[in-house]
Chain A
């Protein structure tokens, strides 16, 4: 045994089609509204960053080879326009299907696995069901009695190959048993070995559960670690506060309009200035009230020209 330091984190190079992004919105930290999740189309909003001439000497890599790890997430104002807190959940895409059979290989009866009928797989996800295409996928199970997902329980796919069923006579009985054999040609059935599927050496008679026929399962890739992003949509940041503190300002004396400009001298905010007096013409209050429409005639360049 050796002891050494090594990293186990690698930049993911997952395709956006293998990613799911959900989000929900609340107006503030104290909001008690129920979180309603919406799904984003990852093909539209998630874009991997590719190499360019500055990142590699390989002339064939720019704009073709994924840099790895770094992606650009586009948040459209159609979904992200209100002030408040958006929580995005980025996780591997899930594929839902059912177990056709839990079988064994005819030539290797000790090898147990799941048999998936590809016709039960969503058409858009069948391209993943290729020989060894599902290795590393996580299998999670739905309890058929209450349709709840079994918590804290999953299996990992260790191999996937096309298979065909064959009939095998059982010893000392007239019954026949369906077993499976691998097929080089594409078939409609796929045999998935999972781990753990064999009994531990300290209790050889306890075979791990890998599923039951017709049970619903969730297959999800393990191409990257799920992550959560919190986005707070705010009205002000340090730059806009700097406009108020250090930006150009004007006061239209006769009109009583107080204008604050940004660093490009665009009107950033405008306020009406007026006084509230009593019947004796005594000033009670001096008021600064934000205007709900901008008087563009008070453009800084215009009034200072």
Chain B
């Protein structure tokens, strides 16, 4: 911190003895009245400030107005002092930012799959694009269906994903895994798929039937992302409504707010009492039997599900010890878990130094 020092000369105000507030006299040394000259250039000039020390006029500061002495405060008599002040700030590097040209795609997805499900039949698609993963050309992936059976699934070479299906004879949660063994590492991806006992869902609001998970068709648009990797020419978008079963969020209606619930309506559907409310543009209905239905609508949903978002970065200032040292190729496998998830998200990392801080340390960089 700098230190600035100034010396300021305190204003010099003469001590005098005033004869009266209007009398144009001074007391001289002998206490006699002496009229001052009528010459306006001689004191007191207009604005002349004195301090009356004694006499018939009260002690204090006075300023000559041209015809009378006007009593003023000490603050007015002494005035104010102006000094210059220079304020500066220090600019320093507060993080790292990397230029980004807006091109985002996932280029090194080693082991992943997507699936469709119709009833108890699950079809697994190998989503690895061998044309973009230089290290993988035609490799046999092993699909473990979770019931003790396996199949082989190869990578695709064109624009159509290779797939294989399985019809389960039993219901319940199945852990489907896809795996490969490579010279550098073994990869495996697991997803849990529920084989329903009855694909018709009984619901007070109506009947859900024939759902194919995930959706392949939305209103007005044909969504063919499962078998078409081309995402560059799809420009259409639409809004579609959806309904789902979920968890009650009514507790949130009261958090950090008033002590009473607000915006909650009640009613009866098919003899079941419900409480309804809206959070985040989703309409929730909590039924008395414990079921909560959620309905809503998407807004401007783009069918190819490629989201080009602005690169964001949580700045880090401290804590860097050293840069990672790379001795071999690094493969990042980060699969897609659901249809709403963004698939293209890793290529904003253009060097391994960034990878350490990407995603708030999501990836651990190891030295070898």
A196-B318, A296-B16 given as contacts; is B87 within 8 A of A90 (CB)?
Answer: yes
Q: Which residues of A contact B91 (CB under 8 A)?
A: 8-10
Partner of B16, one of A69, A204, A293: A293
B 70-87 contacts with A by CB, 8 A:
74-75, 77-87
Complex interface bits, B172-201 against A, C-beta within 8 A gives 1, otherwise 0: 000000000000000000000000000000
B87 contacts A296, C-beta separation under 8 Å: no
Stretch at the interface among A122-130, A142-150, A225-233: A225-233
State whether the Cβ of B316 lies closer than 8 Å to any Cβ in chain A. Answer: yes
Complex interface bits, B302-323 against A, C-beta within 8 A gives 1, otherwise 0: 0000000000001111111100
Please, which residue of chain B has its CB at the minimum distance from the CB of A9?
Answer: B88
Shortest A257–chain B CB gap in Å is 6
A193-B314, A225-B89, A296-B43 given as contacts; is B37 within 8 A of A302 (CB)?
Answer: yes
A70 contacts B84, C-beta separation under 8 Å: yes
Stretch at the interface among A27-35, A52-60, A235-243: A235-243
Stretch at the interface among B229-237, B343-351, B359-367: B359-367
11 A-B pairs with C-beta separation under 8 A: A14-B89, A75-B8, A77-B78, A158-B314, A158-B315, A201-B361, A202-B321, A222-B89, A225-B88, A234-B8, A234-B9
Complex interface bits, A247-267 against B, C-beta within 8 A gives 1, otherwise 0: 000001001010000000011
Q: Which residues of B contact A9 (CB under 8 A)?
A: 88-91
State A225–B29 Cα separation when bound (angstroms): 56
A228 contacts B80, C-beta separation under 8 Å: no
State whether the Cβ of B269 lies closer than 8 Å to any Cβ in chain A. Answer: no
Please, which residue of chain B has its CB at the minimum distance from the CB of A108?
Answer: B360
Please, which residue of chain B has its CB at the minimum distance from the CB of A82?
Answer: B10
B318 contacts A195, C-beta separation under 8 Å: yes
B17 contacts A293, C-beta separation under 8 Å: yes
Q: Which residues of B contact A11 (CB under 8 A)?
A: 86-89
A159 contacts B314, C-beta separation under 8 Å: yes
Stretch at the interface among B117-125, B157-165, B249-257: B249-257
A230 contacts B16, C-beta separation under 8 Å: no
State whether the Cβ of B1 lies closer than 8 Å to any Cβ in chain A. Answer: yes
Please, which residue of chain B has its CB at the minimum distance from the CB of A89?
Answer: B1
Q: Which residues of A contact B90 (CB under 8 A)?
A: 8-10, 225
Complex interface bits, B27-42 against A, C-beta within 8 A gives 1, otherwise 0: 1111000101101011
A8-B90, A230-B4, A301-B41 given as contacts; is B359 within 8 A of A200 (CB)?
Answer: no
State A75–B50 Cα separation when bound (angstroms): 21
Q: Which residues of B contact A222 (CB under 8 A)?
A: 89
Partner of A76, one of B39, B80, B255: B80
Q: Give the interface size class of chain A.
A: 35 or more
Q: Which residues of B contact A294 (CB under 8 A)?
A: 14-16, 50
Partner of A188, one of B28, B94, B256, B360: B256
Q: Which residues of A contact B361 (CB under 8 A)?
A: 110, 198-199, 201
Shortest B260–chain A CB gap in Å is 17
Q: Which residues of B contact A296 (CB under 8 A)?
A: 14, 16, 26, 36, 43-44
State A224–B91 Cα separation when bound (angstroms): 10
B92 contacts A297, C-beta separation under 8 Å: no
State A293–B54 Cα separation when bound (angstroms): 9
Q: Give the interface size class of chain B.
A: 35 or more
Please, which residue of chain B has its CB at the minimum distance from the CB of A226?
Answer: B1
A266 contacts B43, C-beta separation under 8 Å: yes
A8-B91, A293-B15 given as contacts; is B4 within 8 A of A72 (CB)?
Answer: no
Shortest B211–chain A CB gap in Å is 25
> Which 5 pairs, one residue from A and one from B, show the smallest C-beta to C-beta distance?
A77-B78, A78-B75, A12-B87, A110-B360, A294-B14
Please, which residue of chain B has its CB at the minimum distance from the CB of A101?
Answer: B256
State whether the Cβ of A174 lies closer than 8 Å to any Cβ in chain B. Answer: no
Q: Which residues of B contact A14 (CB under 8 A)?
A: 87, 89
State A294–B251 Cα separation when bound (angstroms): 83
State A71–B316 Cα separation when bound (angstroms): 33
Shortest A206–chain B CB gap in Å is 10
Complex interface bits, A43-61 against B, C-beta within 8 A gives 1, otherwise 0: 0001000000000000000
State A158–B300 Cα separation when bound (angstroms): 31
Q: Which residues of B contact A19 (CB under 8 A)?
A: 87
Partner of A224, one of B89, B318, B364: B89
A73 contacts B84, C-beta separation under 8 Å: yes
Shortest A100–chain B CB gap in Å is 9
State A188–B258 Cα separation when bound (angstroms): 13
Q: Which residues of B contact A186 (CB under 8 A)?
A: none
B360 contacts A90, C-beta separation under 8 Å: no
Please, which residue of chain B has its CB at the minimum distance from the CB of A201?
Answer: B321
State whether the Cβ of A23 lies closer than 8 Å to any Cβ in chain B. Answer: no
Partner of B1, one of A70, A76, A228, A236: A228
Shortest A156–chain B CB gap in Å is 6
Partner of B9, one of A159, A198, A239, A299: A239
Q: Which residues of A contact B10 (CB under 8 A)?
A: 81, 83, 233-235
Shortest A247–chain B CB gap in Å is 13
